[in-house]
């Protein structure tokens, strides 16, 4: 009489294959939210042109606002000169703080420092803060 049993090596291979597939699927399902959290958001959403009254940006001061759905900041580092930058740190996406007495931005998460023009002065940020165009129309500053 002939036996229809599967050799143990073949059973182990089949179980390893099935468990590996289930494990890979579970890892992908668990990793997807982490990947979405760490990946940068698209620039969609929000206004592509923002108007700010010139009086809201004092000399040496800052004005935070939303631009394209993300935090941004408008500065007047020198009288009559305006700079608009993203307020999102290029390291891990924390919101930078303007330190007027030092004339630079500080990232509170990991100590990244940026100049008033957005260039990296120190810390872990890999790139400068993105800048946006600023023009003067009447008494309004137009960003975008």
Backbone phi, psi, residue 98, to 5°: -85, 125
What pLDDT score does 100 carry?
87
Cβ atoms of 66 and 79 closer than 8 Å: no
pLDDT at 40: 66
- Answer whether 0.75 is exceeded by the pTM: no
What is the pLDDT, as a whole number, of residue 18?
95
Residue 113 burial (10 A CB sphere; 0-12, 13-18, 19+): middle
Query: Which residues of the chain are under the pLDDT cut of 70?
Result: 1-3, 40-47
User: What pLDDT score was predicted for residue 27?
Assistant: 92
Distance CA 36, CA 79 (A): 42
Residue 131: per-residue pLDDT: 93
């Amino acid at each position: 009489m002939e036996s229809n049993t599967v050799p143990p090596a073949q059973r182990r291979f089949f179980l390893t294959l099935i468990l590996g597939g289930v494990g890979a699927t579970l890892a992908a399902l668990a990793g997807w939210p982490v990947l979405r959290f760490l990946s940068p958001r698209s620039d969609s959403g929000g206004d592509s042109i923002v108007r700010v009254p010139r009086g809201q940006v004092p000399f040496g001061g800052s004005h935070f606002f939303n631009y394209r759905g993300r935090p941004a900041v408008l500065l007047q580092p020198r009288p009559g000169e305006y700079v608009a930058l993203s307020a999102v740190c290029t390291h891990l996406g924390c919101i930078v703080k303007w330190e007027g007495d030092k004339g630079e931005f500080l990232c509170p998460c990991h100590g990244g420092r940026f100049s008033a023009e957005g260039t990296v002065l120190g810390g872990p940020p890999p790139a400068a803060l993105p800048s946006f165009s600023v023009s003067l129309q009447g008494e309004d500053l137009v960003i975008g």
